[in-house]
């Protein structure tokens, strides 16, 4: 699917399913899924891992994570495949992780909202109608939303690109 097709496919649900700026939602989905090319299962376009308390279907998938330690461990069946040192004291991990396997787009969006409304991100929620401010807030708390140290810059570029595509939709 093209970038425009991805935006056209996701935009109606992004506008109606959760109380969040569609530009953020679509930009994050595009970033996490490579514009729909790497959706986990049929609908996990946000790369939401199994996490605690989730008892639904899961898939074991290879992915990339970033950490500030060279010795992060995962619980089986998850595992570290490779660790690469980066400039600035960060490490890129190639890992196998368990991801949620949703049965529908609506199920994915509803669960994504639950993730974003967790207590550790509650401080960001008042900024949800400004995509750039919301991204900044998600990365400024004690627990950051994304492990990528350049997440804010990457997302801001994606948001600008998505805005152009929405204007063309």
Q: How far apart are CA 37 and CA 6, in angstroms?
A: 10
Q: What is the pLDDT of residue 51?
A: 85
**Residue for token digits 């950490």?**
67
CATH code of residue 77: 1.10.530.10
Which tens digits make up the pLDDT trace of 80-122? 999 999 998 999 999 999 999 999 998 999 899 888 988 999 9
End-to-end CA distance of the chain: 15
Q: Does the pLDDT of residue 142 top 80, yes or no? A: no
pLDDT tens readout for residues 7-65? 999 999 988 877 889 999 999 999 999 999 999 999 999 999 998 888 899 999 999 99
d(CA 20, CA 103): 22
Using the 8-state DSSP alphabet, how is residue 123 labeled?
A: G
Asked if pLDDT for residue 79 goes beyond 80, the answer is yes
Relative orientation angle of helices 22-33 and 3-16, to the nearest 10 degrees: 130
> Which domain does 46 fall in, by range?
3-168
The answer to whether 104 and 43 are in contact (CB under 8 A) is: yes
| pLDDT band at residue 147 using 50, 70 and 90 as cut-offs | confident
Amino acid 146: pLDDT: 86
| Tokens 């496919």 found at | 9
* Gap between the Cα atoms of 97 and 117, Å rounded: 22
164 pLDDT band (50/70/90 cuts)? very high
In the prediction, which pLDDT does 143 show?
Answer: 84
Q: What residues does 84 pair with on adjacent strands?
A: 92
**Alpha carbon distance 146, 136 (integer Å):** 11
Structural domain count of the chain: 1
């Amino acid at each position: 699917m093209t970038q425009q097709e991805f935006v056209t496919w996701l935009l109606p649900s992004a506008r109606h399913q959760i109380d969040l700026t569609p530009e953020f939602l679509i930009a994050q989905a595009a970033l996490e899924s490579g514009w729909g090319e790497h959706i986990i299962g049929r609908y996990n376009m946000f790369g939401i891992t199994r996490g605690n308390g989730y008892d639904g279907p899961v898939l074991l998938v290879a992915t990339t994570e970033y950490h500030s330690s060279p010795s992060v461990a995962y619980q089986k069946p998850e595992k570290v495949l490779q660790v690469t040192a980066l400039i600035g004291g960060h490490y890129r991990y190639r890992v196998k992780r368990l991801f949620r396997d949703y049965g529908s787009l609506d199920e994915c969006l509803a669960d994504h909202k639950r993730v974003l409304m967790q207590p550790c991100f509650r401080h960001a929620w008042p900024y949800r109608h400004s995509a750039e401010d919301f991204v900044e807030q998600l990365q400024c708390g004690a627990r950051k939303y994304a492990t990528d140290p350049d997440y804010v810059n990457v997302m801001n570029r994606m948001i600008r690109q998505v805005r152009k595509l929405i204007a063309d939709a």
